[in-house]
Chain A
Amino acid sequence: MYNLLTVKDLKTWFPIKSGIIQRTKRYVKAVDGVSFDVQRGETFGLVGESGSGKTTTGRSILRLIEPTSGDVIFDSVNVTKAGRSELLKLRPRMQIIFQDPYASLDPRQTVNSMLNEVMRVHGIVDTRAEAHGRARELLGVVGLSEEHLYRFPHEFSGGQRQRIAIARVLAVNPEFIVLDEPTSFLDVSVQAQILNLLKDLQTKLDLTYLFITHNLAVVHHMSDRVGVMYLGILVEVADKNEIYDNPRHPYTFHLMAAIPVPDPEIQKKEILLPGDVPSPVNIPSGCRFHPRCPYMTEKCVREVPPLFERTRGHLTACHYEIDFQKGERLYEIDYGSPAVKG
């Protein structure tokens, strides 16, 4: 399959200025070395809690936030190093849907004005009649109707606003869309509608998605492959079913265990992760997860585990193979040996 997007060792650090002369002594290492691929037509899910860096990753890929180092390659074009001209050409192809439908639309613009502006700026249509027709078409694709054209954002519900945002993004004919928690502010029933819409659009328009969320059930429903982020790095990447049935990293496992299941019949074992989600200012040494990990050893404090492919397509950043059911470490990973066929 063809790699549409390749992210190589992406780092985005925010300097913290302190002291009288405002020197930069420390950094908020929001994204601290992330690498993954997304193939054309697939949905790559990026999960993590607050502070994991998933939102910053999405924005850094699009250069809405300038990354500090690393490369993002989109369809053989190096996005991070692209000049102004290249970037202008790339923008329509890589788009983003934001989390907050109440903030991502200009409150003083009608839907019509919004869509017209986008189409006019990109020279997609020539005449006003064409613009009107295309606007109607776009609204139809996302499930809205012509009468919605002349309303202001505040007259719509959250779900409808997300649809408008999607219509606006579709107006520029993108190939790749970063979906930054598109449904977390929406009601459950509306979420279902929007997720269905996104899936339909993906098939119809051959789109590739990077789906960022903290909701594990949603990411399982939408993605083909899932990457779990913790404190700025990926700790596990695998097929969606692998991640859920066979998590290898302790953080992934605890994350799965913490999801409330809407079924009181299933008696969950109480597996609680101690401590709080840490801040990306003071990153622990070695394996970042070690202060909260029930299986940590001295090696975990010393050495940083690489994201290693233990079985085909399943990468983990942990020094050990662990049996979570029994709650014990099995053996140490030898990074020298080639990937074992799962």
Chain B
Amino acid sequence: MGFWDRFRTGELAARIADFKFTLYLLRRNPLVILGSGISIFFITLALVANLIINPDLAYEFNFARSYAWNNPYFSWGPGTATAPSPPVNYLGTDGYGRDLLQMIILAIPLDISLAFFITLGALAIGVTIGAIAGYIGGKIDEAILRITDIFFAFPGLLLALVFAAIFGRTIQNLAVAVLLVWWPTYVRLMRGQVLGEKEKAYVEALRALGAGRPTRLYTVRAHTNTVLNELVEFGRHNRILVEGTSLVDRGARGFIDAVATVRMHLRILFRHILPNSIYPILVQATLDLGGVILTFSALMFLGFSPSPALPELGNLASDGIAHVFTAPWLIVFPGLTILIIALAFNLVGDGLRDVLDPRLRR
């Protein structure tokens, strides 16, 4: 069998065909195509931004050109300052005299990578905790819910403030702060999904099929048995020793069976229930990508930025507040960028949600 054959027959082929069907469904919605196109554009831009624009430009300040507009094709009208013509600033300059377009492009990798990092992080944590809570139920479920509630109650800004105050005002810390505010939603969502899914027939079927005993542990136990038996021999069937070894033996057996049961439950939860129930959560995560960008930019906008010159969309916009009448482009273009990115991710998320419904009727 050649290497490529595995893609044509077998498991992989089946899953690929399945995936193609999803793509087909997605293709039918024009808004989704638009959203995907824009998203892909921005993600590519994020990947190459530092290559097409020299990141050091962010720290080249030229105050002579600050708050100026010299785009030859479009004018904001009288009252706006202009800078000398070469070089052309298509979107004007910011307070440091940097070309706004270049700064926006440099800001995109930061924002997008933060969006993915925070969302995926919150997703991973929230989904795991939520799945366990939903599956186990009982007191552990209650405990997890209460802890989640505490995090829910945290106003995001306050948490960021506290974090910044304690741990220092860096991008990483602020990202962690936003993540901490974000993950409880996924716990709730996942728990709800798992609660519903675990009642389904196929889960019951898997429980009925049961678990086998892990063979490796058996070998270990066999070895332990020999050692124990030799000990007994050595102690010349000393009664205490014999009873001791039988206790250990039974304990070992119990341990192995406990491990087997736990492994079965983990398998059912993460190999079966989770993949079947995660789709709505992925939709939520896609929508959240936009939301995270908005949150993070808002934080920067409100002044939590570690450095005022940092090229970040919210940060760029915050400078524009004071100059909204003399240099409106400072708010408009970074804001517009945030809007478009968030909108694009939203459209993709919406499309995913529409795709889910008919497919549920498999």
Interface residues, chain A, with chain B CB atoms under 8 Å away: 62, 64, 84-85, 87-88, 91-92, 95-96, 98-100, 103-110, 112-113, 117-118, 121-123, 150-154, 165, 168-169, 172
Contact = CB atoms under 8 A, between A and B. Distances in A.
Given A88-B261, A152-B18, A64 B213 contact: no
Contacts of B13: 150
Interface in B246-264: 253-254, 257-258, 260-261, 264
Given A104-B202, A121-B264, 20 more contacts: A85-B253, A88-B212, A88-B257, A88-B261, A96-B205, A96-B208, A100-B201, A103-B201, A103-B202, A105-B205, A106-B202, A106-B272, A107-B362, A108-B275, A108-B276, A117-B271, A118-B209, A121-B211, A123-B213, A172-B210
Interface in B193-218: 200-202, 204-213, 215
Contact of B257 (A84, A95, A105, A153): A84
Contact of A91 (B9, B210, B272): B210
What 10 pairs across the A-B complex have the smallest Cβ distances? A91-B210, A122-B212, A154-B362, A103-B201, A85-B257, A104-B201, A150-B14, A106-B202, A121-B212, A123-B212
B276 A84 contact: no
B204 A64 contact: yes
A84 B210 CA distance: 11
Contacts of A121: 209, 211-212, 264, 267
A250 to B, nearest CB: 34
**Contact size range, B:** 20 to 34
Contacts of B9: 150
Contacts of B215: 123
Contacts of A100: 201
Contacts of A107: 202, 276, 362
B273 to A, nearest CB: 9
Contacts, number: 89
A85 B208 contact: no
A154 B13 CA distance: 16
Contacts of A95: 208-209
A153 B14 CA distance: 11
Contacts of B253: 85
14 contacts: A84-B258, A85-B254, A88-B212, A88-B260, A91-B211, A103-B201, A106-B276, A113-B11, A118-B209, A121-B264, A121-B267, A122-B210, A150-B11, A165-B205
B205 A104 contact: yes
Contacts of A62: 208
A110 B213 contact: no
B2 interface: no
Contacts of A154: 362
Contacts of B276: 106-108
A121 B206 CA distance: 11
A122 B271 CA distance: 17
A117 B209 CA distance: 10
A333 to B, nearest CB: 40
Contacts of B72: none
Contacts of A112: 10-11
Among B10, B11, B207, B209, find the residue whose CB has the most chain A CB atoms closer than 10 A.
Answer: B209
Contacts of A64: 204, 207-208
A88 B255 CA distance: 13
Nearest to A88: B257
